Amino acid sequence: MSFHLIDFSTKFDWNFDNFIIGKKIKKDQDNGKYYIYYQPDPNETPKEIYLKLPKLRLIYNIGNYKYNQLSIPIYPNWEQTDIFINWIKTLEKNIEDCFLNKKIKKELTSIITKKNLLNFIKAKVSEISEQIKISSDIQTQSNLIKLSDFKLNGQIEMVIKLSYIWSRSDKIGLSSELYQIKYYAPPNQLEIDFIDPIVKQPTIQQNLINQLNQINKSIPPPPPPPLLPLPNIIPNKEIQLPPQIKVIPSVKDLQNAIKGLKRIINKDD
């Protein structure tokens, strides 16, 4: 299925009239879900919704999460984070009004929570860690970055998927799932030296290339190909031509030649 990405680091278009809430899919008598989509053009297929959050600073360790759910502080507070928080609250208010218009009285549980004057965003983490796309600017021995490798004062960029609206007894709420995250390590984790000249450490790939170059240098070059023998040439010696064949006319040939001669007439005759 196609997707609609809302990037809060840039300007984006959003119209709640293009927001689609599907029919309820029941799990049992009290529990169910409503899949949600965005359709910017009525001629296009409805699209799944993804949110790219502004870059956040880690002020808490997010590696020790429980119940497959992360709670990440939206910090620092600035224009882009404020736009994101207000957008989520407006979306949730519109969803709640839709249910009230259908005379379905349910209390909405927000994915934005507040604690100690800080706003947090809740997102599920897949039980299969390979499904989360994690990238970073640090190198590890296995080249696999885990959430436990994230350090305080680092920064992250996240993409969250809004899949559906869950419904349980008298409550509803958005389902938010972590799809992708990129980690930017702090200077101490990158071992950046601000005083002495910075020497860029070679990457693992560059080390392999250097090793191959050393091996190639240690291998002696192959011997040159053998020279082909040249033909024997005798210097300063005339080239012997084949003897010429002498042609001697016969008597009959001479007689015929004489008969063919014409008499020469002098002017005095």
CB 154 within 8 A of CB 58: yes
pTM assigned to the model? 0.70
Show me where the domains of the chain are located: 3-195
What is the SS3 assignment for 254? helix
Element of type H or E holding 162: strand 155-168
Name the stretches of the chain with pLDDT < 50.
Answer: 269
Q: What residues pair up with 213 in beta bridges, in sequence order?
A: none
Fold classification of 3-195 (topology level) = OB fold (Dihydrolipoamide Acetyltransferase, E2P) (2.40.50)
122 SS3 class: strand
* Rounded CA separation 96/140 (Å): 45
Q: Are the CB atoms for 126 and 68 separated by under 8 Å?
A: yes
Q: For the segment 92-120, what is each residue's pLDDT rounded down to a tens digit?
A: 999 999 999 988 889 999 999 999 899 99
Percent of the chain exceeding pLDDT 90 equals: 49
